[in-house]
Structure formats: C-alpha cells, structure tokens
C-alpha cells in the first residue's frame, strides 16, 4: 500500500464550475445582463455615497423641478429629490426580489423534495399547490397584503407564497425523474438511507435548474412588488420603492412625465438584466431545460 | 459442477428464490383505475450457491432485470419468497433490509447513468463504506485507494469526476463500489453490454479474478450467450417472465432440452464462416407480457408445440441430475420447486 502516501489532494474542478465558465464565454447577453445587475446592486449598496440626499426630505418650495444639474432626475410634488429616491428605491426592489427568490426556493425545495418521495403526501400537497396556482400571483399577493399591515416583510411573505407553487412543481418533477436514475438505485443498493440519498444524490442535481428558476422568480417578484406598491397595497408609502415613486407620480403624469420615466427605466433594466442572466444560465447549465421551463 | 448444484431445491443455499412473481399494474383514466397487469416475472425459482456464478439469460423484456431488482429489493415483489442465508428478505422493512445490503451488492448495466455525475470517484466508492462502517476519513481513503488498484484503476484517479473516465473505467468504478463493503453476492445486471467487445473481456476477466480471490457469488444477468458461457457455472434461461431451463453451463450449451434454448443457441454465430449449422428461425414476435399466452408461454412460437402446450402450463421437470426443464415434451420427474 505504498500508493496511499502519494494520494493527490482533491483539486479537480466541479462540473458546475466548468460548465459555468464555458457558458459565459458562449452567451454574451448573459454577461451583459450580469454586468447591469451588478451595477444595480452596487447602486443599491453604495446609495449614501452617490451624491444623494435624504430621499424623504421634503422641501415644498422646490417641488416639481425639471431634471437639472442640482436635481438630476428632478423633484416630485413634495420637493423630494427623485434621483435619491430612485437610488434608494433600488435597495427595496432588489432586496425584495432576492429575498423572495431565496425564500420561495428554500420553501419550495423542502416541500418538493418530500412530496417527490412520499406518494401519499404528494396527492394532498399538490392539490393545495394547484389551488394556489389557479389564483393569479398578483391577485393572491394583493389579498394576502389586504389581510396584513403594509411592510417590506409582509410584501416578501405575500409574494413568496404566490411563487412557492411554481418551485414545488419544478422540484417535484425533478425529484420524480432523479429518483428513477440508476445511480439513485445504486445508492439504495449500497445501503444509503433516504435522508442521505436526498441530500447527496437528489439535491445536488436540482441546483442548476433551481438557480435558473431563482432568477426568474427574482425578476417577477420585483415586478409584483412594483404592481403592489403602484396600487397602494405594497411597500409603505414612506419608504421609496420604484413602485411607490411611480404610484405617486401617476396623477402628475401629464405635467411631470420624468417622475415616472426614471423609476420605470430602472425597473425595466433590472428585470431585463435578471432575465438575460437567467436565460444564459439555463442555456449554459443544460440546454434541455429550455423546454421544461 | 459440484454435487450441490445437482440438487433439486435451494434450501440452505446463499440465495434462494422461490416462486418469485412481479406484476406491474397498468393504470388508466382519471381515477388511475388498474386496467391490467404486466406479468414481468411469473413464478420464477432458482438459487445461487456460495462462490458460484448463476447466469440469467433471455431476450430483452423477459423479466431478467426485474428478477435482479427484486433480489436487491429495489422493487417490491408481488408474491414469492427470497431467502438470503436462509432468512426471508422479501418483506423486510427498508431499515432491516439495509443490514443485509452490505453482503448483497450490485453492478449496473449503464456505466454512465449509474454513477452520480456530481460526486468524485472516491466518494462514489466510499459511499457504501461510510454507510456500514464507522471509520476515520484516512482509513476510508486508504481502503478506497486499495479498491481502486484492485479493479485496475490508479489511486491518483480518485479525485476525478465520472465524466473524466472512459466507459470501461466507469464500470471498474461500479465494481469497486460493489466490492467496497465486502459483499458475498453481487447482482450483475448486464454489466458489460454497454461496453466495447475488447473492454467487455477485460471486465469479465476482472469479475472472474475477483471471484477466485474473494469467493464471491454472482447472479449474472445478460443477453449475450458467449459472455454467459464464459463466466457462469450454471445458467438459467428466461422467456416471457418464466425460467424455461436451468442447468450447469456445459450441459446447457452441449445438450439443451427446451425448444427455446435450442433456438437461442442456434442463433449464436460460429467463429468459422464455413461451418454449417442448422439455424432454428422462430416465427413471430415475443407475445405481450400484459396478456401472456395460456399454457406454455412459448407455444405460440415453438416449432414442436402440441395441443397440450396450448392448454396446460408445463411444470419444471428434473430430466437429469441438476437439469431442470419446463417442457411437456421432455420426460422427467416433476419438481415442486426447482
């Protein structure tokens, strides 16, 4: 057993990382999306240092100013600086998008893994999910918001609940395919227990499609947040979010169109960037996924 | 063959399968009503001795892989008994079955899909060791390294992922995984049919060397008669969910008794192109296992079928010591369980 002393350290790159590098080389749109998204995240993180003032500071004397050197994006009807509000609004929109993506994947993954394996539970849970899916996500989120107080946490919970059924369906379908894979049978034959099979064999093979689904959820959550805020059922009005800024500017649309223009452009750009990134990752990780999602 | 192979039932053998039956329900419609049954395996009995290779041959769809899965408890059986060292394992709860899995391992057909693409080779081979033994990571690595060398892989390949191996190397990995917990019996489900012929021979020889060295038993499932002839001690021939003939290798290839075995053997190409042989061409297709023919399942294609074959299912008969045939046209003492 002399060979044992010369065993190499585990250095081989994982298939996921290798696929990623290869993919981004071949999908320039994904890179563009990634860069735009990165800029937006930097914008949100560095908001206080980007020449902004307090986004909630009211100066009625300077209300409804056109965009100028002093107020880059102009001021609204209460004289608040729209540039500062849009930059701070990126924080709300992005954190809601990312939080919803994270929590709906977490919840959907746990439910999907279990229902994919326990058939008796599967029938019950999937009927509940079908019921949830039959209600349009925005409507479901509105009704959930109507039951609670307006706050960022409640917005996240409401949108997450509306997104979970889609994740459960995806995870369940993946588990149903994966559990029939010969290597899962091999693991059963090798005496591996069910929790370990789920963690070691099923879970790692769901990461790629879930990552892609996560970006779509992130994009759709940001839009849903904007819709909720626009109709006044979302983020509390004192917190600037892109949806809130647009909602307040709605009545002044014809005299101060720039109020709607800047948050609208930011929202569209961010959602587009997230979707481009998601499409690139989907094509990169597994071309066959294109048909499933 | 030893005297043990000449007995008429498998009581006391390492693995004893009696009247194994597996039906898959066919569900139809909105309410998943059961509209029929696929008779994948029907009343199959055989046994495997310590240190012996039993070959299980048949066309695709004849139920040989299902038989292997049932023995491994990867599928539940409809009826019948599977005994491991004299203890029934066919109805054991999953938790108790796990204790037996240590001695009962498997090598699968497809070397690509039977290895998790996201696990390193060493983790794949270490998995059964971790499941059954409480050892330190260093001890496990050492054991994995020696297994790698035993199956003809280099220890420095341990950190690689399955996609970095060739088909033959992957099958060696599969064998290393099966050997890891020191099993007594390995169910080999068509382990070489996905490989090139030259690689097939290497893998078969590796399996035979391991058997000599470790005293392993194999249940070797294959459709390639040449491979089965090379590796097996005894051979069971399956047709449409039933075993039609079972005997030691030499007798089967020299003196087949069942008409289906005769037809199967006559289809094996001879190495000498000038050698003439009477080929028995079977007419028609294998009937559907959803509605298997009444009587002898082979009667629809049998060149010598008689009226009786259409009505009455033939019992297993002991035509010679250790030679069991399920055919009305052969004389012999009927046996309850072969």
Hey, what domains does chain B have and what are their CATH numbers? Answer: 2-103+184-334 (3.40.50.300), 116-182 (no CATH)
What integer pLDDT is reported at residue B246 of this predicted model?
94
Q: Chain A: nearest CA to B123, how far in angstroms?
A: 10
**Is A10 an interface residue toward B (CB < 8 Å)?**
yes
- Which tens digit of pLDDT belongs to each residue from A249-264? 888 888 777 888 888 9
Contact A130, A70 (CB under 8 A): no
- Which tens digit of pLDDT belongs to each residue from A216-239? 999 999 999 999 988 888 888 888
Q: Do B145 and A1 touch (CB under 8 A)?
A: yes
CA distance B88 to B15: 10
CA distance B312 to B181: 46
What integer pLDDT is reported at residue A73 of this predicted model?
76
List chain A residues with CB under 8 Å of B174.
186
Residue of A nearest to B162 (CA): A15
Size of interface A-B (CB pairs under 8 A): 98
Spell out the residues 6+ positions from residue B142 whose beta carbon is closer than 8 angstroms to its own.
A1, A4
Q: Identify the sign of the CA torsion B111, B114, B117, B122.
A: negative
Of residues A6 and B272, more confidence is placed in B272
Section B259-273 average pLDDT: 83
Whether the predicted pLDDT of B125 surpasses 50? yes
List chain A residues with CB under 8 Å of B72.
189
At A143 the three-state DSSP class reads helix
What integer pLDDT is reported at residue A46 of this predicted model?
85
Residue A23 — very low, low, confident or very high, per pLDDT cuts 50/70/90? Answer: low
What integer pLDDT is reported at residue B112 of this predicted model?
87
What integer pLDDT is reported at residue A4 of this predicted model?
47
Q: Do A182 and B158 touch (CB under 8 A)?
A: no
The residue extents of the domains of chain A are 34-53+81-242+250-292
Whether the predicted pLDDT of A292 surpasses 70? no
What integer pLDDT is reported at residue B5 of this predicted model?
46
Residue B186 — very low, low, confident or very high, per pLDDT cuts 50/70/90? Answer: very high
Angle, vertex CA A77, rays to CA A74 and CA A78, nearest 5: 100
pLDDT above 90 covers a percentage of chain B that reads 55
CA-nearest of A41, A6, A84, A23 to A218 is A41
Of residues B126 and A23, more confidence is placed in B126
Fold adopted by A34-53+81-242+250-292? MetI-like fold (1.10.3720)
List chain B residues with CB under 8 Å of A187.
116, 127
**Is A2 an interface residue toward B (CB < 8 Å)?**
no
- Strand-pair category, B53-57 with B217-222: parallel
**Helix, strand, coil content of chain A in percent (nearest 5):** 75, 0, 25
> What are all long-range contacts of B290-299, with beta carbons under 8 Å and residues at least 24 apart?
B290/B26, B290/B36, B290/B37, B290/B38, B290/B39, B291/B36, B292/B39, B292/B42, B292/B240, B292/B241, B296/B326, B296/B327, B296/B328, B297/B239, B297/B240, B297/B241, B297/B242, B298/B239, B298/B240, B298/B244, B298/B258, B298/B259, B298/B260
Phi, psi angle pair for B319, to nearest 5°: -85, -25
CA-nearest of B305, B234, B229 to B7 is B234
Residue A286 — very low, low, confident or very high, per pLDDT cuts 50/70/90? Answer: low
Task: Indicate the helix (H) or strand (E) that contains B187.
Answer: strand B185-189
As beta bridge partners, residue A47 has none
Output the average pLDDT for chain A.
84
At B119 the three-state DSSP class reads coil
What integer pLDDT is reported at residue A51 of this predicted model?
73
CA-nearest of A33, A191, A167 to A100 is A167
Using CA atoms, how far residue B218 sits from A131, A197, A223, B212, in Å, is 51, 26, 60, 12
Residue of A nearest to B116 (CA): A183
Using CA atoms, how far residue B36 sits from B26, B63, B80, in Å, is 5, 17, 20
Q: Do B113 and A14 touch (CB under 8 A)?
A: no
Q: Do B120 and A10 touch (CB under 8 A)?
A: yes
CA-nearest of B231, B124, B110, B103 to B173 is B124
Q: Which of residues 157-186 of A touch B (CB under 8 A)?
A: 181-183, 185-186
CA distance A233 to A255: 25
At A184 the three-state DSSP class reads helix
Residue of B nearest to A191 (CA): B98
Residue of B nearest to A15 (CA): B118
Per the structure block, which two tokens stand in for A259? 């109020």
How many other C-beta atoms can be found within 10 angstroms of the C-beta atom of residue B323?
Answer: 20
At A181 the three-state DSSP class reads coil
Residue B261 — very low, low, confident or very high, per pLDDT cuts 50/70/90? Answer: very high
Question: ipTM, 2 decimals?
Answer: 0.84
What integer pLDDT is reported at residue B3 of this predicted model?
41
Whether the predicted pLDDT of B107 surpasses 80? yes
Of the candidate ranges A21-30, A84-93, B74-83, B258-267, the one whose mean pLDDT is the lowest: A21-30
What integer pLDDT is reported at residue A2 of this predicted model?
45
Residue A15 — very low, low, confident or very high, per pLDDT cuts 50/70/90? Answer: low
List chain B residues with CB under 8 Å of A180.
none
Q: Chain B: nearest CA to A198, how far in angstroms?
A: 13
Spell out the residues 6+ positions from residue B287 whose beta carbon is closer than 8 angstroms to its own.
B240, B293, B297, B300
Q: Chain B: nearest CA to A32, how far in angstroms?
A: 29
CA distance A44 to B85: 68
Q: Chain B: nearest CA to A209, how far in angstroms?
A: 14
Contact B46, B20 (CB under 8 A): no
- Which tens digit of pLDDT belongs to each residue from B296-319? 999 998 888 888 999 988 988 888
What integer pLDDT is reported at residue B338 of this predicted model?
42
Contact A56, A79 (CB under 8 A): no
Using CA atoms, how far residue A129 sits from A144, A170, A215, B35, B289, in Å, is 16, 12, 21, 29, 38
Of residues B54 and B133, more confidence is placed in B54
What integer pLDDT is reported at residue B6 of this predicted model?
46
Among A174, A190, A192, A205, which would you mutate to test the B interface (most chain B Cβ atoms within 10 Å of its Cβ)?
A190
List chain B residues with CB under 8 Å of A190.
101, 105, 127-128, 131, 177, 180-181
Q: Do B163 and A192 touch (CB under 8 A)?
A: no
What integer pLDDT is reported at residue A20 of this predicted model?
64
Contact A49, A55 (CB under 8 A): no
Of the candidate ranges A96-105, A166-175, B14-23, B271-280, the one whose mean pLDDT is the lowest: B271-280
pLDDT above 70 covers a percentage of chain A that reads 89
Of the candidate ranges A73-77, A226-230, B144-148, B150-154, the one whose mean pLDDT is the lowest: A73-77
Section B184-208 average pLDDT: 92
Phi, psi angle pair for B236, to nearest 5°: -115, 135
Q: Chain B: nearest CA to A25, how far in angstroms?
A: 21
- Which tens digit of pLDDT belongs to each residue from A60-116? 777 777 777 777 777 777 778 888 888 898 999 999 999 999 999 999 999 999 888
Angle, vertex CA A108, rays to CA A102 and CA A109, nearest 5: 85
Angle, vertex CA A15, rays to CA A165 and CA B159, nearest 5: 130
Q: Residue A189 is nearest to which of B101, B142, B158, comparing CB atoms?
A: B101
Q: Chain A: nearest CA to B324, how far in angstroms?
A: 31
Contact B56, B222 (CB under 8 A): yes
Query: What residue has token string 């992957």?
Result: B170
Q: Residue A189 is nearest to which of B105, B109, B160, comparing CB atoms?
A: B105
**Is A189 an interface residue toward B (CB < 8 Å)?**
yes
Residue B145 — very low, low, confident or very high, per pLDDT cuts 50/70/90? Answer: very high
Output the average pLDDT for chain B.
88
* Size of chain B in residues: 338
Contact A205, A178 (CB under 8 A): yes
């Amino acid at each position: 057993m002399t060979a044992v002393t010369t065993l190499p350290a585990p250095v081989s790159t994982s298939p996921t990382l290798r696929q990623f590098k290869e993919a981004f080389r071949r999908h320039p749109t994904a890179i563009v999306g990634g860069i735009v998204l990165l800029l937006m995240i930097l914008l949100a993180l560095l908001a206080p240092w980007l020449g902004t003032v307090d986004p909630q500071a009211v100066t009625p004397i300077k209300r409804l100013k056109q965009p100028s050197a002093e107020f880059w994006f102009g001021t609204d009807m209460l004289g608040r600086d729209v540039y500062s509000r849009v930059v701070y609004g990126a924080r709300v929109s992005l954190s809601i998008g990312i939080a919803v993506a994270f929590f709906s994947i977490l919840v959907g993954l746990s439910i999907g893994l279990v229902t994919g394996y326990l058939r008796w539970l599967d029938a019950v849970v999937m009927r509940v999910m079908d019921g949830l899916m039959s209600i349009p996500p925005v409507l479901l989120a509105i009704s959930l918001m109507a039951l609670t107080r307006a706050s960022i946490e409640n917005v996240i919970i409401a949108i997450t609940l509306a997104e979970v059924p889609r994740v459960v369906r995806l995870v369940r379908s993946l588990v149903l395919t994966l559990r029939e894979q010969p290597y899962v049978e091999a693991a059963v034959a090798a005496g591996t227990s069910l929790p370990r099979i789920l963690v070691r064999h099923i879970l790692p093979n769901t990461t790629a499609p879930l990552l892609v689904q996560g970006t779509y959820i992130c994009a759709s959550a940001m839009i849903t947040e904007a819709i909720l805020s626009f109709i006044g059922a979302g983020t509390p009005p004192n917190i600037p979010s892109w949806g809130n800024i647009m909602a307040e500017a709605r009545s002044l649309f014809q005299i101060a169109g720039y109020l709607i223009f800047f948050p609208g452009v930011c929202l569209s750009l961010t959602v587009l960037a997230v979707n481009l990134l998601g499409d690139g990752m989907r094509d990169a990780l597994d071309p066959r996924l294109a048909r499933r999602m | 063959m030893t005297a043990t192979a000449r007995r008429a039932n498998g009581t006391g053998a390492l693995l004893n399968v009696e009247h194994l039956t597996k039906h898959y329900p066919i569900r139809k419609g909105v309410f998943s009503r059961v509209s029929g049954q696929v008779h994948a395996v029907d009343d199959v009995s055989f046994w495997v001795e310590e240190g012996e290779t039993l070959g299980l041959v048949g066309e695709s769809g004849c139920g040989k892989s299902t038989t292997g899965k049932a023995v491994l408890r990867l599928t539940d059986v409809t009826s019948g008994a599977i005994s491991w060292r004299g203890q029934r394992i066919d109805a054991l709860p999953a938790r108790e079955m796990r204790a037996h899995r240590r001695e009962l391992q498997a090598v699968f057909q497809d070397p690509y899909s039977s290895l998790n693409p996201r696990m390193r080779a060493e983790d794949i081979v270490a998995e059964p060791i971790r499941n059954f033994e409480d050892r330190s990571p260093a001890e496990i690595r050492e054991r994995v390294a020696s297994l790698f060398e035993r199956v003809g892989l280099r220890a420095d390949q341990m950190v690689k992922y399955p996609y970095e191996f060739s088909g033959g190397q992957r099958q060696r990995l599969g064998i290393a995984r099966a050997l890891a917990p020191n099993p007594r019996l390995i169910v080999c489900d068509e382990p070489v049919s996905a490989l090139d012929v030259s690689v097939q021979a290497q893998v078969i020889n590796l399996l035979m060397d391991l058997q000599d060295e470790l005293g392993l038993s194999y249940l070797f499932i294959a459709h390639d008669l040449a491979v089965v002839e090379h590796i097996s001690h005894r051979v069971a021939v399956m047709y449409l969910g039933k075993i039609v003939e079972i005997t030691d290798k030499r007798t089967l290839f020299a003196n087949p008794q069942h008409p289906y075995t005769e037809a199967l053997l006559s289809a094996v190409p001879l190495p000498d192109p000038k050698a003439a042989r009477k080929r028995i061409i079977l007419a028609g297709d294998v009937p559907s296992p959803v509605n298997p023919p009444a009587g002898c399942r082979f009667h629809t294609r049998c060149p010598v079928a008689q009226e009786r074959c259409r009505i009455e299912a033939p019992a297993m008969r002991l035509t010679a010591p250790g030679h069991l045939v399920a055919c009305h046209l052969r004389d012999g003492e009927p046996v309850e369980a072969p």
